[in-house]
Amino acid sequence: MQELIEVAKSILNHNLNVKENEHILIVTDSESSEIANVFDQAGTRLGNETIVMKMVTRTKSGEEPPQPIAEAMKAAEVVLCITHHSLTHTKARKEASACGARVATMPGITMDMLEEGAITADYAEVEELTASYCELLEAGERVTIEKEDTKLSFSIKGRKGIPSTGVFREKGESGNLPSGESYIAPIEDSANGTILVDGSIAGIGVVSEPVRLTIENGRLIDATGKEGQQLLQLLGKGNGRIIAEFGIGTNKKARLTGNVLEDEKVYGTVHIAFGSNKPFGGTNEAGVHIDCVIKDPVVTIDGQGLSLK
DSSP string, 58-121: PSSTTPPPPHHHHHHHHH-SEEEEE-SS--TTSHHHHHHHHTT-EEEE-TT--HHHHHSGGGGS
Average pLDDT over all residues of the chain: 96
User: Where among 115, 137, 167 does a domain terminate?
Assistant: 115
Q: CA-CA distances (angstroms) from residue 171 to 76, 98, 102, 115, 200?
A: 11, 9, 6, 28, 33
Q: Which pTM does this prediction carry?
A: 0.84
203-214 per-position pLDDT tens digit: 999 999 999 999
Same-domain check for residues 75 and 183: no
Cα–Cα distance for residue pair 275/232, rounded to 1 Å = 11
Same-domain check for residues 222 and 299: yes
pLDDT at residue 309 tops 80: no
30-81 per-position pLDDT tens digit: 999 999 999 999 999 999 999 999 999 999 889 999 999 999 999 999 999 9
Same-domain check for residues 161 and 293: yes
pLDDT at 1: 83
Domain span including residue 43: 2-115
User: Where among 92, 115, 138 does a domain terminate?
Assistant: 115
CATH code for the domain in which residue 100 is found: 3.40.1830.10
Same-domain check for residues 19 and 74: yes
pLDDT at 120: 87
Percentage of the chain beyond pLDDT 70 is: 100
Same-domain check for residues 32 and 150: no
281-298 per-position pLDDT tens digit: 999 999 999 999 999 999
* Number of domains making up the chain: 2
pLDDT at residue 257 tops 80: yes
Same-domain check for residues 264 and 168: yes
User: Where among 83, 115, 147 does a domain terminate?
Assistant: 115
Nearest to 69 by CA among 91, 47, 48, 85: 91
Same-domain check for residues 16 and 103: yes
Half-sphere exposure of 67 (CA within 13 A, CB side): 0
Contact present, 35 and 110 (Cβ < 8 Å)? yes
